[in-house]
Amino acid sequence: MDEERVKPADCRTMAEVRHGVDRLDEAIVALIAERFRYMDAAARIKPERGHVRDEARKAEVIGNVVSRAEAEGAPPPVLAEVYEKLVEGSIAYEFDQFDTMRG
């Protein structure tokens, strides 16, 4: 099977569906890895450990995701839940990185 994804509306077999999902998952993981590299940068840049958790920014990120989900036709509650976990995981990771960088 070609590495190109068949558009969801054009899929005729479960193999095409699974291939498309697998390719998307590869891209999503690569993007999440890049997102965590931004958490590395944040840990390096923030002057104080107390700046790592920012509830206003967390709400803004999740609100942006919900708006984008609505615009893309994805289920907003599902993406809000996914991003709640992603942001909390990112915060925990950033705390670890902050502590590691400062010994």
pTM, 2 dp: 0.91
pLDDT, residue 51, reads 98
- Does position 97 have pLDDT exceeding 70, yes or no? yes
pLDDT, residue 3, reads 74
Cα gap 86→6, rounded to integer Å: 28
Instruction: Please say whether the dihedral angle defined by the alpha carbons of residues 64, 70, 94 and 23, taken in this order, is positive or negative.
Output: negative
pLDDT, residue 6, reads 96
Query: What are the respective helix, strand and coil percentages of the chain, to the nearest 5?
Result: 80, 0, 20
Superfamily of domain 8-101: Chorismate mutase (1.20.59.10)
pLDDT, residue 103, reads 86
Cα gap 23→30, rounded to integer Å: 11
Quote the Cα angle for 58-98-39, to 5°.
45
pLDDT, residue 65, reads 98
Each domain of the chain, given as residue ranges in start order, spans: 8-101
pLDDT, residue 102, reads 95
- Tell me: the pLDDT tens digits for 20-71? 999 999 999 999 999 999 999 999 999 999 999 999 999 999 999 999 999 9
Cα gap 97→9, rounded to integer Å: 42
- Does position 1 have pLDDT exceeding 70, yes or no? no
Helix orientation angle between 14-45 and 76-101, rounded to the nearest 10 degrees: 40
Cα gap 30→76, rounded to integer Å: 22
